[in-house]
Amino acid sequence: DGGITQSPKYLFRKEGQNVTLSCEQNLNHDAMYWYRQDPGQGLRLIYYSQIVNDFQKGDIAEGYSVSREKKESFPLTVTSAQKNPTAFYLCASSMDGLYGYTFGSGTRLTVV
């Protein structure tokens, strides 16, 4: 079945560490997105990519980095510069606006 796979489901980060969240899709979608979800807040856009080797900052890109070397993959690195990384991270993809967005099952990141 086509879909988006995020891994790991749970991730723990020590202070000062960089961690990478995986997002893979087999939907042949061109665009991919990373959102952050915090309790009591809506989803906020971190980064997005329309095509391979191109990506754009969203509303809260500081402390995060991404790459898009393959159409299927859009990993997100949470760097030590992100001061409050504990959150639920959601990856999404879309063919174009006509078909809407498909989301993965999320990764919960906790700082320990």
Under the rule (CB under 8 A), what is the footprint of another protein? 6, 30-31, 33, 35, 40-43, 45, 48-50, 56, 58, 88, 90, 92, 94, 96-106, 108
Within 13 Å and on the Cβ side, how many CA atoms surround 111?
Answer: 13
Q: Toward another protein, which CB reaches closer, 76 or 92?
A: 92
Q: Toward another protein, which CB reaches closer, 57 or 70?
A: 57
Closest contact distance (angstroms) between CB of 15 and another protein is 25
Closest contact distance (angstroms) between CB of 106 and another protein is 5
Rounded to the nearest 5°, which phi and psi values hold at 3?
Answer: 175, -170
Q: What angle do CA 51, 54, 58 make, to 5 degrees?
A: 100
SS3 43: coil
Closest contact distance (angstroms) between CB of 17 and another protein is 23
Name the one residue in this structure whose structure tokens are 């997002």.
23
Q: Toward another protein, which CB reaches closer, 65 or 101?
A: 101
Closest contact distance (angstroms) between CB of 45 and another protein is 4
Distance CA 100, CA 40 (A): 24
